[in-house]
Structure 1
Amino acid sequence: MFTGIIPGMGRVAAFRRVGAGARLVVDGGSILRHLEPGESIAVNGVCLTVVTDGGADTGNPWSLKAPPGVSLPSAEGRPGYAAFDLLAETLSRSRLGSLRPGDRVNLERSLRFGDRVGGHFITGHVDGVGVIAALRRVGPGGSGGRELTIVLPPPLRGRLQEKGSVGVDGVSLTVAALVAGGFRVALIPETLRRTTLGRSRPGDRVNIELDHGPNPGAGGWVTWDLLRQYGYLR
């Protein structure tokens, strides 16, 4: 579980396709120091698991297997680096398959009990990929931030509400307005500085996670009638 408050960015150190999957290595600097194998990290909003092997057959049917004589990129012995295995489902649901060495990525470590939740709960289970259709600078001289218009794939349309929350490449944002086929968000300068959205351009693809919390627009609030329906009240 994550909050969508991004502490900073990392850089793709290696990306190698292996069959239907891929191995990703990220240089996250201080954000990714002192990791344990199996920890969850959100990379551009996608929940990934830290792995340590270099592609050897560990007996795990879900781990990537390198072809004979080939080793996968590894983060072992490199402080601040982390390696992740991406399977076909992850590549089909997100835009991680388009990453290249040198690309910047948003990073967030998983939430711990007692941490502040400054954004909203993000699972890291991306619902689909949107496209930035328009970008407009706002504020005096365009220095106050940016407004992005994002087009959603058809299955996700109609599932957001104005002033609700949405995850865009792992960043917790508020839906400023609903538009035909998508939505609009406003980004403050701090968000632009800390995340990859500060480098975004029209035509860029972004990972989208809908807010799966209570949604009054979809009848998601717990009401007295709902409690009675399930026998909690008489």
Structure 2
Amino acid sequence: MFTGIVQGMAEVVAIEEKQDFRRHVLRLPPSMLGGIELGASIAHNGCCLTVTEVQDDRVAFDLMAETLRLTNLGGLQVGDKVNVERAAKFGDEIGGHAMSGHIICLARVDEVIRTPNNCTVWFTLPAEFGKYLFAKGYIGIDGCSLTIGSVEGSRFCVHLIPETLERTIIQFRQVGDAINIEVDPQTQAIVDTVERVLAQRHGAGLA
């Protein structure tokens, strides 16, 4: 489990491409290296990946075909940066919201509005995921736990303070960029359950 509180940005220092498979190596910040072991879970732009090799501050991860299909990690190049967060431990403060590290879809940046002390970013989700959007609800954007500001169908915005911009790769995002999205698991469970119950009742009524 993760909390959506990004612990730093890590640079991609090496990539090995194979058919439907990729291995990439990150240079992790010193603050994240303590006690790291093979098999540990670290979120990259919100996507949970497993540590497969550790050499000093260089840590390797394997990405299978499904991960490459569903996330923006397949588009990374050497020199790019990703948001990183190590898995939460029992007793840790959860300053964001509970996140699984399972990306549900990609969104596109529609608009970036910058003012001296704030930044508002608008995104568009595939239409079928718009049902999970609620004003003031939680959402994971490239692994960063954020509060939804406004919703317009499958389009939504978030408001970012300077600290969030300074600590995450959202500061580099531009119109058209693909963003990893994880909706709040509780919201998803409630919406899906209500839909299923209503469908069953409707079906029973027609029988």
1:143 pairs with 2:116: yes
How many residue pairs match? The answer is: 193
Offset from partner CA, 1:37-73 (integer Å, 9 cap, x none): 0000001100000002xxxxxxxxxxxxxxxxxxxxx
Letter in 2 for 1:109: R
Aligned to 1:11: 11
| Pairwise CA distance, 1:29 | 2.2
Letter in 2 for 1:19: Q
2:64 to 83, 87, 98: 87
| Pairwise CA distance, 1:28 | 1.1
2:100 to 123, 131, 138: 123
Considering fraction of residues, name the structure with more helix.
2
1:194 pairs with 2:172: no
Aligned to 1:22: 22
Q: Unpaired runs of 5+ in structure 1?
A: 53-75, 222-234
Letter in 2 for 1:90: T
Q: Whole-Å Cα distance in 1 between the matches of residues 188 and 45 of structure 2?
A: 24
Letter in 1 for 2:3: T
Offset from partner CA, 1:122-162 (integer Å, 9 cap, x none): 1100001000000101xxxx221210000001231221111
Say if 1:113 and 1:44 are closer, same or farther in 2 by CA, change over 3 A. same
Q: Whole-Å Cα distance in 2 between the matches of residues 48 and 215 of structure 1?
A: 22
- Equivalent pairs: percent with the same residue? 39
Q: Whole-Å Cα distance in 1 between the matches of residues 100 and 38 of structure 2?
A: 19
Answer yes or no: is the 8 Å Cα contact 2:131–2:191 preserved in 1: no
1:159 pairs with 2:114: no
Considering fraction of residues, name the structure with more strand.
2
Map residues 169-184 of structure 1 onto 2, 5 A cutoff: 169-184=142-157
Aligned to 1:133: 110
Answer yes or no: is the 8 Å Cα contact 2:132–2:187 preserved in 1: no
Aligned to 2:202: none
1:209 pairs with 2:182: yes
Answer yes or no: is the 8 Å Cα contact 1:128–1:209 preserved in 2: yes
Answer yes or no: is the 8 Å Cα contact 1:145–1:192 preserved in 2: no
Letter in 1 for 2:18: V
Point out the more displaced range, 178-187 or 35-44: 178-187
Map residues 68-79 of structure 1 onto 2, 5 A cutoff: 76-77=54-55, 79=56
The 4+ residue runs of structure 1 with deviation greater than 2 A are 214-221
TM-score using structure 1 length: 0.78
1:41 pairs with 2:42: yes
Q: Whole-Å Cα distance in 1 between the matches of residues 117 and 161 of structure 2?
A: 7
| Pairwise CA distance, 1:81 | 1.7
- RMSD over aligned CA atoms reads 1.8
| Pairwise CA distance, 1:177 | 0.6
Say if 1:190 and 1:196 are closer, same or farther in 2 by CA, change over 3 A. same
Aligned to 2:2: 2
